[in-house]
Amino acid sequence: MTAARIKLKQALLLLLDTDDFEQLSISQICKEAGVHRSTFYAHYDNQYQLLEDTRVYMIDLFLSEFENYQKTIEAPKEKDSLMDSYYLVPYLKFIKDHQKLYKIYIKNPLDFQHKERDDIHFIAQFIHAIKKEKGGLTREKCAIAITFIKQVSAR
C-alpha cells in the first residue's frame, strides 16, 4: 500500500468528522491528504472507490486493535458462547467509534457490495477467536459457529 493511498484514506476519515460524504469533493480530499488530484486518479476512479478502500482499511484496523478493545471491557467470557460481551462489545465499540463511516454504508446500500464481505469478516473474527481458545475448534464450538453463521446470513 502506497503512502499516498494511506494519506487519502486518513484524509477521508478526518473530513468525515466534520462533513457529509456527499458534500466532499475530490479536491477537498486531496488538499487534506496533501496530494495532487492526479495522484488520486492514479489510485481511484471516484470517491466511492476511495470509500470502499477506506472500509477495508478500517477492517484491518479493527483486526489489529481487537484485543485492545477487548481489554477495555469488563465482561467475562462465557463458556462456548460467541454471542457474549467478550466478543460483541469490542466489535460494536469499534463501529460506534467510527460510526460516521458505517452510516454512509447503511445509508447507501446499493452503492456498495459490502454486506457479504462484512458478514464474512465478522464470522472470520469469531472463528479466529475460537481457534485461540483453550481446546481449539471442537465439534461443539463448530456447531455454535454454524448456528451463528446461519443467523447472520438470514439477516
pTM score over 0.75:
no
- How high is the pLDDT of residue 134? 60
The residue extents of the domains of the chain are 3-153
Span 13-31, mean pLDDT? 91
Q: How high is the pLDDT of residue 18?
A: 87
CATH number at 3-153: 1.10.357.10
Confidence of residue 11 (pLDDT cuts 50, 70, 90): very high
Kindly state the cell numbers that stand for 119.
Answer: 458478514
What does the pLDDT read at residue 97?
A: 80
Report pLDDT digits (tens) over 92-133: 777 788 777 777 777 766 555 555 555 566 666 666 666 666
- The pLDDT of residue 124 is 66
